[in-house]
Amino acid sequence: MNNYKITLSYDGTLYAGWQIQKNAVTVQQKISDALSVLLKEKVNLIGSGRTDSGVHAIGQVANFVTGNELDLYRFTYSLNSMLPRDIAIKKIENVEESFNSRFDARKRSYLYFIVKNKNPFWDKFAYRNGRNFDVNYLNRMCRCFIGENNFTSFCRTRSETENKICFIYDAFWRRQNDFLIFKIEGSRFLHGMVRAITGTILNAEKNNLDESYIKNILISRNREAASESVPAHGLFLYKVKY
C-alpha cells in the first residue's frame, strides 16, 4: 500500500470546519469525495487536526493510503481541478506507510490576525478592531501560557476530549503595518482553545489586569472564567511540524 501526505490550504468561510459532519459541508468531505472519484475507491483521509467552522488554513496536513501508485505531479493537478477555488493542494508526497498526519505531529502553530482599519481585502480573514493595543502588555500576558497546563478553561464546555493537558512552546504578538498578529505554537490544541486564549489576552489588556488574572483562569478549570472567544474568521492553522 502507498501512503501519501498532502499539504493544503483553504479559506474556511463557507465550511463547517475540517472534520466530516452530518448535514454540513466540510473541507475533509470535499477532498475525500474528490479523492474517491480519482482513485475509484473509498479513501480514509486523516487530518493533522480539526479546524472549527469558519477557520482557515495555510498549512494543514493530511494523509491517505491507497493501492494506487500515483504520478504526483499529474495527480496534484487533477485533484486541484476537482476541488473548489477555496481549497488548494500545495504538495503531495509519498511517505512511509506508518506515517499518520495526526498522531505523528509534534507541533502545531496558529496565527490570528487583527486589522485596525476597514479593509475590503481582509474582511474575511482578519478581525477588525480599532483599539490601540499595547503589544508589550499582550506579550507579558502570553508568558502565562508557556509550558504544560490544563486548558479546560479555554476549550468548549462540551468538548469530547478528556485529556485537557497541552504544552505551549511559544506565544507572542507583533505589529505589522495595519495588522496585529498573534502566533501560538503548541503540542496540541483543544476545540476552540486558540480563540478563547486570544480573547482572554485581549480582555486582560483592555482592563489592565495583571498576570494573576490568567493564572487564576487556568487554575479554575472553568470555561466561564475565561473571556469570550474572538471571531473565527481571523484564525489560520499556520504550520504542522513532524
Q: Give the contacts of 103 (CB within 8 A, at least 6 positions apart).
A: none
Q: How far apart are the first and last CA of the chain?
A: 22
Same CATH topology for 2-95 and 107-241: the answer is yes
Rounded Cα–Cα distance for residues 189 and 196 (Å) = 11
Average pLDDT over all residues of the chain: 96
CATH topology of domain 107-241: Alpha-Beta Plaits (3.30.70)
Catalytic residues: 52
Instruction: Give the start-to-end residue ranges of the domains of the chain.
Output: 2-95, 107-241
pLDDT tens profile 47-96: 999 999 999 999 999 999 999 999 999 999 999 999 999 999 999 999 99
Q: What is the pLDDT of residue 159?
A: 67
Phi-psi region of 86 (alpha: psi -120 to 50; beta: other; left: phi over 0): alpha
pTM of the entire predicted model: 0.95
Long-range Cβ pairs for the range 26-34 (8 Å, 24+): 27/51, 27/57, 27/60, 27/87, 28/62, 30/83, 30/84, 30/87, 31/6, 31/62, 31/79, 31/83, 31/87, 34/79, 34/82, 34/83
Q: pLDDT-based confidence at 160, cuts 50/70/90?
A: low
Q: What is the CA radius of gyration of the chain?
A: 19
Q: Which of 31, 30, 27, 4 is nearest to 15 (CA)?
A: 27
pLDDT tens profile 104-145: 999 999 999 999 999 999 999 999 999 999 999 999 999 999
Q: Which amino acid is at 196?
A: A
Helices (H), ranges, 10-71:
27-39
CATH topology of domain 2-95: Alpha-Beta Plaits (3.30.70)
Percent of the chain with pLDDT over 90: 97
Burial-class residue 155 by CB neighbours within 10 Å (0-12, 13-18, 19+). Answer: buried
